[in-house]
Each structure stands twice: as structure tokens, then as C-alpha cells.
Amino acid sequence: MVIPAAPQKRQELDPKSILGLKYFKLLKGKLGELHTVGTERDKAGSRTLFYDQYASLILLYFFNPVLTALRSIQQASALKNVQKTLGCSKTSLGSLSEASRVFDADLVKKVLDDLALRIGPLGNNREAKLLADLTAVVGSLLPALPKMVWALWNFTDKKAARLHLHFEVFKQAPVKRPLGVCQV
């Protein structure tokens, strides 16, 4: 006879464990432009999760090691400090899951590219001029990515995604490079 295991109680998130909320004040205006994108099919007007809120919740995931899965993002959406900063309400797992299909990821990419362009040099001395075009390039396997809905793969031998990041050292910001181009 097999005795079923007792269901594990879900760990509650501590509002103080959520990091990086101050950065969303900078993002709010830019992401706000996306608020109504993807709402065209909502004829009943019952949508409660909008694109800017969804993008903010996903970005919040990257700032917070305590957020490990879609369910923890959903739990974070119930925290008052997160709701106040991101302008969202408690979000259901169904809404979060559907959002990855409803909202066009390229639109957030454009917002982030625009923000990266606004970052200026950190100084204007001789060293700054020498380092202005210094770019670090890394190709890393990221085992955490499969925990995100859009990165899940159905193959047992593929449990990670590869990141090719170009980072302007002096600006301390990622930079967009054409695919296949690597500067040494």
C-alpha cells in the first residue's frame, strides 16, 4: 500500500525579499506605451493583465532570485508593494500563461533597446575615450531559462538556453549587435 505524501504548503513571499522595484519608476513611462497592446480581442473589456504589467512582472523575475517559476511571479503580483510599483493587481496563473501568446515580445525589446541607447558614457577623460568602444562578449548556457514559460523545451537533452550578450564596458550596458558579428 502506497501512502500519499502530504501536500506541501506553498512558501509565502516576503514583500521585503522583492528587489529592484526602484528601477521600475524609470521603466514605467516607457512600458506604459504598451498598456493597450494586445487588448483588441478583449470584446468584453474584462482584461485585468495588460502588456506593460506583464512585461514588468517578467522583468521583476530577472531582479529577484526568490522568483523561480510562473507561480512565484503570480504570488509576487499579490504583494501590495509590487502592485503599487508596477500598477498591477493580483494576477492569475491563467492570465500569465496566456500573456506569453497574446503579447508580442518584440515590442518590449524595442523599449529596452531605446533605454539602452539613452545610457551615456560614465565620464569624459582620456581613459573614457579609449574604452568607449570596448565591448565584452559572452556566450553562456543559462540553466535557469527553462523555468520561464517561453523557454521551455520538450527535449530531455536541452535544459538550458544560450545567451550571446554584447556588453559595452564603459557604458555598463548591453548593446545590440547583428547576429553573427563578434568584435574582438
User: pLDDT tens digits for 95-128?
Assistant: 898 888 888 888 888 887 777 777 665 566 776 6
Percentage helix, strand, coil, to 5, in the chain? 40, 10, 50
- Please state the rounded mean pLDDT for residues 90-96: 92
Give the pLDDT score at 170: 65
Q: Measuring CA to CA, which residue among 96, 80, 81 is closest to residue 47?
A: 96
Give the pLDDT score at 161: 57
CA distance 90 to 77: 5
Q: Which residues pair with 31 in a beta bridge?
A: none
Give 120 or 140, the one with higher predicted confidence: 120
- Please state the rounded mean pLDDT for residues 126-133: 69
Q: Which amino acid is at 81?
A: N
**Rg value, the chain, Cα:** 20
Using the predicted structure, report yes or no on whether residue 78 has a pLDDT greater than 80.
Answer: yes
Q: Measuring CA to CA, which residue among 121, 137, 120, 150 is closest to residue 177?
A: 137
For 116, residues 6+ apart whose C-beta sits below 8 A from its C-beta are 173, 174, 175, 176
Q: Tell me the whole-structure pTM to 2 decimals.
A: 0.64
Q: Which helix (H) or strand (E) holds 52?
A: helix 51-63
Residue 85 main-chain phi, psi, to 5 deg: -70, -45
Give the pLDDT score at 76: 96
Give the pLDDT score at 34: 84
Choice among 47-56, 143-152, 163-172 with the minimum mean pLDDT? 143-152
